[in-house]
Structure 1
Amino acid sequence: MVYQITIDQGNYVEQKNVDALRMGMTQEQVQYVLGTPMLVDPSYPKTWNYIFYVKPGHEKPEQKNLFLNFDDQGRLVSMSGDFKQGPNFTTPMN
């Protein structure tokens, strides 16, 4: 068997980081918690894409996605993807 290196790409996001997100957070606050998004499509600038891909050697690759949507004022309004909303997500920021 030939050695194959582990390949990591994108944003490493854990559920504990997602648990810190709350509706109404500013884009700056979200970026502080999760880092810079991997992709912000110019056609949809209010949607941030956090994508993590890992292929550990000979094992099956894994990809996790987190999509965050902001309103016109740059406040977090929804999330979707492979992570659960945190217990306080729907509690708006003051």
Structure 2
Amino acid sequence: MHFKKWILIIPFALTILSGCSVLERLVYRIDIAQGNYIEQPDVDKLRIGMTKEQVQFVLGSPMLVENGYPDTWYYIYHFTHGHDDSVQKNFIVKFSPQTQALTEASGDFELSPDFNTPLN
């Protein structure tokens, strides 16, 4: 009789223990978005020679401007969707210290073929 209890308890215990990861997936986790959400159509509007005000109008305020390097702006977007892996997008714009005009941009977005054509 004692042996029959173990036959029932062991599979039940294994089922409960292996189900922990399944139970974890049932717990609701919110989506977390942090930083500057920019899209490719916004990046396509950028042109060499734009002022800081024009770039800020197109992309919004930068996430980071380092002390000592006010002419380099960092746009960082980090998104975590519940239980899934997180996604991060980075985009950096640089301005000329003399003219305060946009000189280059790089990161996880493609620049428009018209980027090197000034607005004027």
TM-score bracket, normalised by the shorter chain, equals over 0.9
Alignment of 1:5-16 (within 5 A): 5-16=30-41
* TM-score, with length taken from structure 1: 0.96
Q: Percent same amino acid among aligned pairs?
A: 53
Distance in 2 of aligned mates of 1:33 and 1:61: 25
1:87 alignment partner AA: P
Deviation of 1:87 after TM superposition, in Å, equals 2.2
Where is the strand percentage greater, Structure 1 or Structure 2? 1
Indicate the residue corresponding to 1:83 in structure 2: 109
Secondary structure of the 1:43 match is: coil
**How many equivalent pairs are there?**
94
Alignment of 1:1-94 (within 5 A): 1-72=26-97, 73-94=99-120
Distance in 1 of aligned mates of 2:31 and 2:68: 33
Secondary structure of the 2:93 match is: strand
Cα displacement string for residues 58-89 of structure 1 (whole angstroms, at most 9, x for unaligned residues): 11100000000000211000011101001210
Deviation of 1:31 after TM superposition, in Å, equals 0.4
Q: Relative contact order (alpha carbons < 8 A, sep ≥ 6): 1 or 2 greater?
A: 1
Further displaced range: 80-89 or 10-19 = 80-89
Where is the helix percentage greater, Structure 1 or Structure 2? 2
Cα displacement string for residues 9-63 of structure 1 (whole angstroms, at most 9, x for unaligned residues): 0000000000000000000000000110010001211100000000010111000
Name stretches of at least 5 consecutive residues in structure 2 with no aligned partner: 1-25
Max Rg structure: 2
Q: CA RMSD in A?
A: 0.7
Give structure 1 regions of 4+ aligned residues with deviation exceeding 3 angstroms. none
Distance in 2 of aligned mates of 1:35 and 1:75: 16
